[in-house]
Structure 1
Amino acid sequence: MAGLSERIQDMEKVSKELLKLMAEGKAVEKLKDNLSKQEQMIDKLLDTRKTTKQLIKELMATEEKAAQKLYDREQELKETLQKLQKIEDELLQANEKDATLRNSTNELKKQLEALREEIRQQERNAAENVDASMSATYLVHLYYQICHIDWDYSCDPSVIKGTHYGPDIAQSINLDSTQHSRCFISDHLWNLVNTSW
Structure 2
Amino acid sequence: MAAFRDMEEVSQGLLSLLGANRAEAQQRRLLGRHEQVVERLLETQDNAEQGLREILAMEEEVAQSLLDAKERAHQGGVELQQLQEELQKAGEEDARVKASLDRELEELKEIEAGLERQEREVDEDTTVTIPSAVYVAQLYRRVSKIEWDYESEAGMVKGIHHGPSVAQPLHLDSTQLSKKFISDYLWSLVDTDW
Give the TM bin, normalised by the shorter chain.
Answer: 0.5 to 0.7
- Two-structure CA RMSD over aligned residues (Å): 2.6
In structure 2, list runs of 5 or more residues that go unmatched.
1-15, 134-194
Partner of 1:38: 34
Picking from 29, 32, 37, the partner of 2:25 is 29
Partner of 2:82: 86
Q: How far does residue 29 in structure 1 lie from its aligned partner after superposition?
A: 2.4
Matches within 5 A, 1:164-175: none
Instruction: Out of 121-130 and 48-57, give the one that drifted further.
Output: 121-130
Partner of 1:50: 46
2:101 alignment partner AA = T
Identity of aligned residues (%): 27
Asked if 1:116 is matched to 2:102, the reply is no
Instruction: Out of 51-60 and 121-130, give the one that drifted further.
Output: 121-130
Partner of 1:130: 126
Normalising by structure 1, report the TM-score: 0.52
Bigger-Rg structure (1/2) = 1
Normalising by structure 2, report the TM-score: 0.53
Q: How far does residue 134 in structure 1 lie from its aligned partner after superposition?
A: 6.6
2:20 alignment partner AA = L
Partner of 1:102: 98
Instruction: Out of 124-133 and 67-76, give the one that drifted further.
Output: 124-133
Q: How far does residue 132 in structure 1 lie from its aligned partner after superposition?
A: 5.8
1:48 alignment partner AA = T
Identify if the C-alpha distance between structure 1 residues 75 and 19 changes in structure 2 by more than 3 Å, giving closer, same or farther.
closer
Q: How far does residue 19 in structure 1 lie from its aligned partner after superposition?
A: 7.6
